[in-house]
Amino acid sequence: MSDSCCHPAAPAATQSPRYRRVLWIALWVNAAMFGIEIASGLRANSVSLLADAVDFFGDAANYGLALAVLGMALRWRARAALLKGLTMAAFGVFVLGRAAYGATTGTLPEATTMGAIGVLALLANVAVAVMLYAWRDGDANMRSVWLCTRNDAIGNVAVMAAALGVFGTGTVWPDVAVAAMLALLGLSSGRTVIRQARAELSA
């Protein structure tokens, strides 16, 4: 994706009632999926599901923050994006730790639950991603919202792949590997958002 940070359409887009409605929908979808995945992850002993659940929680909070600063000046939206970028990076660090813990315990997750919840989460995130696609190249705040949704969809596919891996190998390692991948994705996206937000603040 482009790292440019000043798009002429961004100010008008932030005032769009449609964009605000999409953010509200995204907030409630992510909050609901957090509850579903945290319960399923604990039940299935799946570190990748738990990692994805934490990501859903962070995204719900990020959508709420985006709504709070939507009509504010670019500097305030950039500050909010900076906070979100730091949150995304912190999520990555947390999941790396959780993956290491899962590797040491070696508890075999329940592949069927992982796969079913992964499909449900993917459907939810693809729907939100389609709604947000038109605003993917806005300011740092808008871009962070798009990246969160994109990361979730990638994570859902990875969780389903982990379920197949656990089922096929009878080991915990596919689950741990996907959790680590989600962590690195969070770190990378957080770095992108932080860099763009800092550029907007400097400007």
| Domains of the chain from N-terminus onward | 13-202 (1.20.1510)
**Residue 166 structure tokens:** 């656990």
Which pLDDT score, from 0 to 100, does residue 1 have?
A: 35
DSSP string, 112-135: HHHHHHHHHHHHHHHHHHHHHGGG
pLDDT, one tens digit for every residue, the chain (203 residues): 333 322 333 444 556 788 788 889 889 999 999 999 989 988 888 888 888 887 787 788 778 877 877 666 767 777 777 887 787 788 778 878 877 877 787 778 889 999 999 999 999 988 888 887 776 666 666 666 777 777 778 878 888 999 999 999 988 889 988 888 878 877 887 787 788 788 878 87
- C-beta of residue 193 within 8 angstroms of C-beta of residue 84: yes
* CA 81 from centre of chain: 14
